[in-house]
A = this chain, B = another copy of it.
Amino acid sequence: MNRPFNFSAGPAAMPEEVLQQAGAEIANWHGSGMGVMEMSHRGKEFISIYEAAERDFRELMAVPEDFHILFMQGGGWGENAIVPMNLSQGGAIDFVVTGGWSQKSFKEAGKYGQTALAASGEAGGFTDIPDPATWQLRPDARYLHICSNETVHGVEFQTLPDLKALGSSAPLVVDVSSHVASRPIDWSRVGLAYAGAQKNLGPAGLTLVVVRKDLVGQALTICPSAFNYELVAKNDSMFNTPPTYAIYMAGLVFQWLKRQGGIAAVEARNIEKARLLYDFIDASPFYVNRVAPAHRSRMNVPFFLADESRNDDFLAGAKAAGLLQLKGHKSVGGMRASLYNAMPLEGVKALLAYMREFELRHA
């Protein structure tokens, strides 16, 4: 079956074999006589699905035992409030803003704590990451928040900052939504990481939260019970009914990642995919990417035609060539190719072939 290549920034392409497996067992999971959507979340069938998903993610990402893995709802926008309700205690929260997502997180957290910018890339149009040595870290900060991959602006931390080395004892909170499971995470530098599932993990409506156990248990009283990490952790993510089908789909993706050789193997392919596209863009006068090379995202590659009057032509031709959802985010314009784990190398090659052909036709 020949499917088009889907470059959506999220919800995004999923591995075809995962979709086919889900389709085959949609009304009868493993002879249970029930589809996964129809199972009580407290029954042994679903519990086995949940436990396998938790175990596989922990193994894939080498999450240490002193971290909870929570399966929640509300996405990144939800966590923008849920994190400060759980961790801020109404105190100081520092932010490094490197694009649209960390900016949203910064604004939302102001409802729950004393927020301040430690650094911002806004003056440069979010094409760079301010050097951690210049960050203004407050000694009383309850945590420091970053977004380690900015989906809209295509800016990625290639290394997580080492706050201890910068003289801070604040835990690092990281929004990893759009590059989770695309590369390893150095958990020794992390207090909490969260990810909306709809980019690299599964369907929209599931949020994964990985939080160091000692940070849990200090929620503000106005924190809704359903979003209180302590209650969620104590109940193995079943304090309320979890998004069971999305957990099942994420679990199938985790199994697929293991079959791909695990995160190291997947990362190697992601490096190769991104290198091909950036090298091509940099070598062409027809296309441009404005992000500082050291901070370019492997997952989300925004680019522009030098002549933007050809944007609509480019998108129409791409669609006809089986290359879907390449339009850039409205706040940035131009194009964006998202190269999540499920995007095969062949998809990137097909995109390059089309870009080359379009350039030859119009240059």
Residues of A within 8 A of B (CB): 1, 3-4, 6, 8-14, 16, 19-20, 22-24, 26-28, 33-35, 37-41, 43, 73-78, 80-82, 85, 108, 111-112, 196, 198, 202-206, 221-222, 224-227, 239-246, 249, 322, 324-325
Contact across chains for A203 and B243 when beta carbons are under 8 A apart: yes
CA distance A198 to B40 in the complex (A): 10
A226 touches which one: B23, B26, B80, B222 (CB < 8 A)? B80
A27, B33: Cβ atoms closer than 8 Å: no
Question: Which residue of B is nearest A245, CB measured?
Answer: B203
A240 touches B41 (CB 8 A): no
Give the distance to chain B from A93, nearest Cβ to Cβ, in Å: 15
Task: Quote the shortest CB–CB distance from A340 to chain B (angstroms).
Answer: 10
- Chain A interface, DSSP helix/strand/loop, else mixed: loop
By a CB distance below 8 angstroms, the chain B residues around A27 are 1, 3, 16, 19-20, 23
Q: Compute how far the CA of A239 lies from the CA of B203 in the bound complex, rounded to whole angstroms.
A: 17
Would you give the shortest CB distance from A337 to chain B, in whole angstroms? 13
| Cβ-defined contact, B3 with A33, below 8 A | yes
Given contacts A108-B224, A225-B77, contact A243 B246 (CB under 8 A): yes
Copies of this subunit: 2
Contact pick for A204, options B28, B227, B241, CB 8 Å: B241
- B224-A41 in contact (CB<8A): no
Instruction: Determine if B204 and A41 form an interchain contact, defined as CB atoms under 8 angstroms apart.
Output: yes
Contact present for B11 and A244 (CB under 8 Å): yes
With contact pairs A204-B242, A246-B205 given, residues A325 and B37 touching in the complex (Cβ less than 8 Å): no
CB-based contact B108/A225 at 8 Å: yes
The 7 closest A-B pairs by CB, nearest first: A205-B243, A81-B224, A77-B240, A23-B26, A4-B33, A77-B226, A19-B27
Give chain B residues whose Cβ lies under 8 Å from the Cβ of A73.
73-75, 78, 205, 243
Query: Are A35 and B10 neighbours in the complex by a CB distance under 8 Å?
Result: no
* A132 CB → nearest B CB, Å: 29
With A19-B26, A19-B37, A226-B81: A244-B8 Cβ-Cβ less than 8 Å: no
Bound-state Cα–Cα, A10 to B244, Å: 11
Instruction: Determine the distance from Cα of A19 to Cα of B22 in the docked complex, in whole angstroms.
Output: 11
6 inter-chain pairs at a CB distance below 8 angstroms, sorted by A residue, are: A11-B41, A13-B38, A75-B240, A76-B241, A80-B225, A243-B246
Q: Are B33 and A19 in contact (CB under 8 A)?
A: no
Question: Which of A81, A203, A224, A242 has most B Cβ within 10 Å?
Answer: A224
Chain B nearest Cβ from A338, distance in angstroms: 10
In the complex, the chain B residue whose C-beta lies closest to that of A13 is B38
A69 to B76, CA, bound (A): 22
Which of the residues B22, B40, B324 comes within 8 Å of A34, measured between beta carbons? B324
Q: Which single member of B35, B39, B242 contacts A205 (CB below 8 Å)?
A: B242
Q: Which residues of B contact A75 (CB under 8 A)?
A: 73, 226, 240-241
CB atoms of A78 and B206 under 8 A apart: no
**CB-based contact A10/B77 at 8 Å:** no
Q: Are the CB atoms of A80 and B224 closer together than 8 Å? A: yes
Given A14-B38, A27-B3, A111:B244 Cβ within 8 A? no
Q: How many Å lie between the Cα of A39 and that of B227 in the bound state?
A: 27
In the bound complex, do residue B111 and residue A222 qualify as a contact, i.e. CB atoms below 8 Å apart? yes
With A11-B244, A81-B226 already in contact, 18 other A-B pairs whose C-beta atoms are closer than 8 Å: A4-B34, A11-B38, A11-B41, A14-B37, A20-B26, A23-B27, A26-B26, A37-B202, A37-B249, A41-B204, A74-B78, A74-B224, A76-B241, A77-B225, A77-B241, A85-B224, A112-B222, A205-B243
